[in-house]
Chain A
Amino acid sequence: MVQQEVVVKNRLGLHTRPAASLVKLAAKYKSEFYLERDGYRVNGKSIIGVMTLAAEEGARILLEFEGEDEQSALAAMVDFFDRGFDEP
């Protein structure tokens, strides 16, 4: 299992469009994926779950992957957060 904390960087937060992209990215990996914010934990392969995180700009989120490709999955996801979901 690998974990890393990330910060939401784009202005509008993890709203519908980035949530959709995030779930699509997560689906490319076999590992189980969870996101946790202030003790609230959701499955990262569920768009509904990810939307309910209501993670605005500046929110700190713990990413957790478990599975054979956990290292590469985590790296890709951290990069996606660092890019601010490719939004302003």
Chain B
Amino acid sequence: MNPDASHSNAEEIVIRGVAASPGIAIGKALVLKKDGIVVEEKNVDDPAAELERLRKAIERSAHELEKIYGTAREKIGEDKAKIFEAQLLILADPVFFDGVKHKISRNKKNAEFVVSTEFSKQIEQLRRSDNEIFKQRATEIEDAKNRILRNLAEAKLKSRVEGTPIIVTSELTPADAVLLSRSAVLGYVSDFGGARSHASILSRSLGIPAVVGLKEATKHVTDGANLILDGYRGTVVINPSESTLKKFTERKAWCEQLDNELMSEAAEPALTTDGRRVSVEANIELLEELPLMQSHGADGVGLFRTEPLIIDSESIPDETEQTEVFRKAVEGAAPNPVVFRTFDIGGDKVFIGEHSEQNPFLGWRGIRMMLDRPDLMREQLRAILRASASGKCRIMYPMVATADEVIRANELLDEAKKSLDAEGVRYDKEIEVGVMIEIPSAALMSKEISRHVSFLSIGTNDLTQYLLAVDRTNELVANLFEEFHPAVLRTIKFIIDSGHDAGIRVAMCGEMAGNPLATVMLLGLGLDEFSAVSSTLPVLKKIIRGTNYKSARKFARQLLKMESADEVKKALVEYLRTRFERIYHTTISEENLD
């Protein structure tokens, strides 16, 4: 790819966002604007021509949606794809569009104006509802409106993406992601979204570099502008100068070389130079990610998030639906095991029905909610158990604060087992149960909790937030969120030691587990299992294979004595820079960034 010099006099701008999918893309921007449609009110002489334009726009919109619906059914399943079927019904609403056509004819106004005002009335009506869920439904009607307006304007749209552009958009919706996955796209850049939004996960599984959450990308980038997207560091360079372009072309080449090298070794075991074997596993939330996990050398799925089942299908799927998904996961990961985390709803995640709290992070979430809703818990446990007949899996409870909660959850598990026995349904009778340790009280009680389970798994994001009393989504204090704080490290050490004293394994599935900076430290603290997004696993394995366990232990002991997070990070950066220089330059180094 050799971008020409047509934009070379424009000023070079570097913007930073969230690294959502690794890789470097150099190419031309295609800006997809969804909300920028300006509708003008015009009088028309020939309403019949307007009606014909409207008919064609609806037809094209329906055609687009049918394609999306078809692809979605294949990729995310019939049930979740139903949302697109509803959109098709909206486009075919006879009552609504009779009204629209009537107004175009009678008032002799342009189709855009009438479509826009009539839709807006309905959207307003929905937004008046006190119910959050219904308010959100307004976006579906809004989508239909925008789709028709865009087709009326005959705007170039995603399905007609030509060449191999870098897509720049305000927010990538699941529908966009599904459609774009069928075109040749070099990368994605978006104003909104995070590393765990659906589109980011999809780009990781498709191996397409992405940077999201850039806030003002669509404002700075014009169509056809030269772009560099660095999906390792989460940066985007707009209108790069000759020298920047040269630097990144070189960087891209050696990043790809390192990637190839890492991938070629990905299947090798995570064994230290002195023979300690640890397990490196994948965090997964969509079935689509399973092939990726296998190719990246995962020893299993250390965290299968089950909440996406709810977010996407609007209602809680029943036992049969859940069993179906879990069975596919178990079969896709075979011969390696899958750890299913029971619904972690609440906090910043999903809420059930109409439910809001003053302080959701300290509220009704995770195991607390599930114990209050034993019907849901039993249903989910039965679904996991039924899937266990098809392959190795484990159960994990989130947001546990006390041993008592584990005991009660295990009682529900026993009930679920008995009910399956009574029905003659097969399942793995030896299925292992573990808990996430992410609340300080559970960390302090991890020795007692360990008596009731087969493994612990540390969730560093929540653990850090609760330990330091910092809500990292609050911009005023976000800079105080520091997972390398010695208080966090000492807590992790305590949890690992407690688990080992009880003779059980200790895993980590929080963000820290996937951070190459932390690998040597976690290894030295005695962690048995690392679980992180698939794309980072070959890096972790490379570091583990190049590390001596005894030296790592010694190094970890020094880190534990430190007084501040900065001190810890400095030591870790130095370690990575001297021992794993190329990994350091790909993922950590801020050099070469003006």
Contact = CB atoms under 8 A, between A and B. Distances in A.
Nearest to A55: B134
Interface string B130-162: 010110010011000000000000000000000
Among B83, B93, B128, B316, the one with the most A-chain Cβ atoms within 10 Å of its Cβ is B93
A47 B353 contact: no
B318 interface: yes
B315 A47 contact: no
Given A43-B95, A52-B126, A16 B314 contact: yes
B315 A12 contact: yes
Interface stretch (B84-92, B437-445, B544-552, B558-566): B84-92
Nearest to A24: B89
B94 A45 contact: yes
Nearest to B125: A52
Contacts of A24: 89
Contact of B315 (A11, A46, A56): A11
A19 B133 CA distance: 14
A13 B86 contact: no
Interface residues of B, number: 28
B413 to A, nearest CB: 21
Contacts of A10: 315
Contacts of A23: 89, 93
A39 interface: no
A29 to B, nearest CB: 14
Contacts of A12: 133, 314-315, 353
Contact of B134 (A11, A13, A17, A43): A13
Given A12-B353, A17-B86, A88-B318, A47 B134 contact: no
Contacts of A57: 353
A19 B126 CA distance: 14
A46 B94 contact: yes
Interface string A41-85: 001011111011010110000000000000000000000000000
A7 interface: no
B122 A54 contact: no
A51 B134 CA distance: 8
Contact of B93 (A15, A48, A88): A48
A19 to B, nearest CB: 7
Contact of A51 (B83, B126, B316): B126
A16 B353 contact: no
A52 B119 CA distance: 11
Contacts of A46: 93-96
Interface in A1-37: 10-13, 15-17, 19-20, 23-24
A48 B353 contact: no
B89 A20 contact: yes
Contact of A48 (B85, B96, B133, B315): B96
B140 A16 contact: yes
A46 B83 CA distance: 17
Given A49-B93, A54-B131, A87-B315, 14 more contacts: A13-B131, A15-B315, A16-B137, A17-B86, A17-B314, A45-B95, A46-B93, A47-B90, A48-B122, A49-B96, A51-B141, A52-B122, A52-B125, A56-B133
User: 7 tightest A-B contacts by CB?
Assistant: A46-B95, A54-B129, A54-B134, A52-B125, A43-B95, A20-B86, A16-B86
Interface of A: 10-13, 15-17, 19-20, 23-24, 43, 45-49, 51-52, 54, 56-57, 87-88
15 contacts: A11-B352, A13-B134, A15-B137, A15-B315, A16-B140, A17-B82, A17-B314, A20-B85, A20-B86, A46-B95, A47-B93, A48-B122, A49-B96, A51-B140, A52-B126
